[in-house]
């Protein structure tokens, strides 16, 4: 049964790892098709959707193969990785009949539009999904911070972080049997307890301009739909 959407404009943050399936790196066709279908279900409710996708499935500036590299060079590579993921997701969404545009924070006009805030908003109003690629365009930031920034800039009502875990816990649930998942949290609590939701830059930017965040498991089918239609029984809401 179709439910009414609770939000008119949302931003969905996907980690790069969300696209790699169980092969441990890169992009798997099954996984990207699954993600595109999950987003298409929400698109069909006439919700305006923008997306920020990470790059951790290909390259991360602070870990792994970047060891020993200059941080800025490594981060530039990480941002390029997000462009690869964005193009793959755009292709998969178009195959689900969802008109999609990629806007890149680093100009590369042969393969993506440049990020132009008002143009992005116009796309959303015209019923196109917009994927914001290349993070913030600056080293030393993350795609979580890029997601909060773009959500503010385009006046998204909420940021959904669809991820590998089902919510935010008081301690690591893999290590501790008695870990408890929060249903709701304040930004301050996240900062004070150093809870692993997003990096501190992203959380403070969300707090400063009152952007609610909801963290939930991407791999549970229908979760994006549930989040957008305001079914409260999934994940952790931070506000």
Q: Is there binding between residue 138 and ligand UDP (CB under 6 A)? A: yes
Cβ 25 vs Cβ 12: under 8 Å: no
Q: What is the DSSP letter of 69?
A: S
Touching ligand UDP, residues 29-58 (CB under 6 A): 54-56
**Of 16 and 235, which CB lies nearer to ligand UDP in the complex structure?**
16
| 176 CB burial (10 A radius; 0-12, 13-18, 19+) | exposed
Q: What is the distance, to the nearest Å, from the Cα of residue 123 to the centroid of all Cα atoms in its chain?
A: 18
Size of site (CB under 6 A) for ligand UDP: 24
* Buried-exposed string 111-127: b where 16+ CB fall within 10 A, e elsewhere: ebbebeeeebbebbeee
229 binds ligand UDP (CB under 6 A): no
Q: Tell me which residue of 181, 139, 210, 154 sits closest to 9, measured CA to CA.
A: 154
Question: What are residue 11's phi and psi, to 5 degrees?
Answer: -120, 130
Phi and psi of 75, rounded to 5°? -65, -35
* 218: exposed, middle or buried (Cβ count in 10 Å: 0-12, 13-18, 19+): buried
Interaction between residue 17 and ligand UDP (CB under 6 A):
yes
Which window, 28-36, 42-50, 138-146, 186-194, contacts ligand UDP (CB under 6 A)?
A: 138-146
Residues in 53-72 that interact with ligand UDP by CB under 6 A = 54-56, 60-62
Q: Of the candidates 139, 181, 201, 229, which one interacts with ligand UDP according to CB under 6 A?
A: 139
CA-to-CA distance for 220 and 33, rounded, in angstroms? 14
Tell whether residue 128 is among the known ligand binding residues. no
25/239 with CB nearer ligand UDP: 25
Which of residues 161 and 188 has its CB atom nearest to ligand UDP in the complex? 161
* Shortest Cβ 127–ligand UDP spacing (Å): 27
Known binding positions for ATP: 13-16, 56, 60, 163-164, 169, 172
Known binding positions for UMP: 55, 75, 136-143
Known binding positions: 13-16, 55-56, 60, 75, 136-143, 163-164, 169, 172
Catalog residues that contact ligand UDP under the rule CB under 6 A. Answer: 15-17, 54-56, 60-62, 74-75, 78-79, 81-82, 135-136, 138-139, 141-144, 146
């Amino acid at each position: 049964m179709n439910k009414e959407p609770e939000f008119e404009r949302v931003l969905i943050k996907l980690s790069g790892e969300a696209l790699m399936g169980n092969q441990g790196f890169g992009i798997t066709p099954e996984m990207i098709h699954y993600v595109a279908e999950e987003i298409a279900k929400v698109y069909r409710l006439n919700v305006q959707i923008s997306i920020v996708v990470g790059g951790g499935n290909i390259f991360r500036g602070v870990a792994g193969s970047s060891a020993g590299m200059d941080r800025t060079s490594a981060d530039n590579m990480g941002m390029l990785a997000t462009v690869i993921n964005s193009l793959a997701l755009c292709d998969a969404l178009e195959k689900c009949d969802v008109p999609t545009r990629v806007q890149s924070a680093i100009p590369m006009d042969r393969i993506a539009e440049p990020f132009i805030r008002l143009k992005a908003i116009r796309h959303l109003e015209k019923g196109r999904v917009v994927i914001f690629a290349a993070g913030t365009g600056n080293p030393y930031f993350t795609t979580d911070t890029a997601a909060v920034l773009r959500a503010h800039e385009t006046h998204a009502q909420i940021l959904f972080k669809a991820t590998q875990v089902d919510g935010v816990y008081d301690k690591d649930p893999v290590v501790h049997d008695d870990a408890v998942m929060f249903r709701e949290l304040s930004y301050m609590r996240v900062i004070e307890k150093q809870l692993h939701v997003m990096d501190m830059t992203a959380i403070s930017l969300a707090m400063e301009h009152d952007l609610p965040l909801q963290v939930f498991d991407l791999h549970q089918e229908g979760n994006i739909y549930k989040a957008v239609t305001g079914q409260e029984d999934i994940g952790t809401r931070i506000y």
